Amino acid sequence: MTKTPLRIIISGGGTGGHIFPAVAIANELRRRLPDTEILFVGANGRMEMTRVPDAGYKIVGLDITGLQRRLTPHNLLFPVRVFRSVRKAGKLIEEFRPDAVVGVGGYASAPVLLAATSRAIPSLIQEQNSYAGLVNKLLARRVNRICVAYDGMEKFFPANKLVVTGNPVRAEIAGGIRAEALAFFGLNPDKKTLLVVGGSLGARTLNLATVAALQRLREAGVQLLWQTGKLYFPEAQKQAEAHKGDHLYALEFIKRMDLAYAAADVVISRAGALSVSELCLTGKASILVPSPNVAEDHQTKNALALVSKGAAVLITDEHAQARLYDEALRLLHDPERQQQLSTRVRELARPNATDLIVDELLKLIKK
């Protein structure tokens, strides 16, 4: 029998693709066992340090960063930062005394899981992508269980530790009501709505293509919800405000993604693992523009998993500025094709992924 309340540490972050699955796991733990004490551990200066408290959870930051591709003073200090972070993580574990530790990828999960596994604390990692992240690959032989979203992950991880669960998506993401969503964003119910999301940090290619298309969207009577990311937001806001009154909205970050999906007729998105999982769960007709700046081009593999089933449209990053909005406008005015894409993408959803991961975590604790 497990003791009550359970105490769980969840570590990792860096991008929404790591943070939101972590929050989904925490939410499901709290739903099942409301007294569970959950502590997040992230990297100081990264977005988890604000997003996790926004979700209602406590987080502690480590001074850990990744290696840069060239020799820099920053890299020379990397071993020192790792040593200090592992030591701090060890102190956190000794003080918090968790029943289990979960890693979701990102810099902060490495020192926490190293400290946990050296103390024989049950440990689980969750890998979102079809190409495993470096931290998760390094930790694979130390942890007890590895939850993955794709088949064929034996090439990265020990087969006897693998469980195919899908990616955890916040339960509320598919629960948005269209009328509420339109009112929330100030949109016109008589117009088609396009949602553009470049991931939690934004995407330069999508932003540049969208700026160039604002006039075309206005002329076509299409309204826009455009998540730009922090760096591009000031310029995007200025460009969008030039079309004030046309329902073309630039937003630095969309907290209510459930309502954004509910409002959208068509979604333009990068093909990160979390984005793909959300599109499947919400059943949205989408155009995917995979980022070329990721390991082993794994976003293209993510996108092709949908495109090969007739469940999404693919435009390459290099062709986005020339072709993206031609395709978007065609799709927005073709409800039959939207419905076809929506039906097929729903068939690929794994709505019980979070349940399966929490099941595996509780099994480890009971052992």
Indicate the pairing of strand 285-288 with strand 100-103: unpaired
Q: Could you tell me how many residues make up the chain? A: 367
As given in the structure block, the two tokens for residue 355 are: 């349940």
Can you tell me the distance from the alpha carbon of 269 to that of 287, in angstroms, rounded to the nearest whole number? Answer: 6
In single-letter form, the type of residue at position 163 comes to V
Residue 308 is labelled as binding a ligand:
no
Residue 28 is labelled as binding a ligand:
no
Residue 129 is labelled as binding a ligand:
yes
Residue 119 is labelled as binding a ligand:
no
Residue 106 is labelled as binding a ligand:
no
Q: Which residues contact 45 (CB under 8 A, 6 or more apart)?
A: 61
DSSP, res 173: G
Residue 134 is labelled as binding a ligand:
no
Residue 15 is labelled as binding a ligand:
yes
**With DSSP H G I counted as helix, E B as strand and the rest as coil, what are the percentages for the chain, rounded to 5?**
50, 15, 35
- Residue 53 preceded by cis peptide, ω within 30: no
Residue 273 is labelled as binding a ligand:
yes
Going by C-alpha positions, the residue among 159, 81, 147, 82 that lies closest to residue 115 is 82
Residue 17 is labelled as binding a ligand:
yes
Contact indicator for 39, 61 with CB cutoff of 8 Å: no
Q: Could you tell me which residues are annotated as the binding site for UDP-N-acetyl-alpha-D-glucosamine?
A: 15-17, 129, 170, 200, 254, 273-278, 299
Q: Could you tell me which residues are annotated as the binding site?
A: 15-17, 129, 170, 200, 254, 273-278, 299
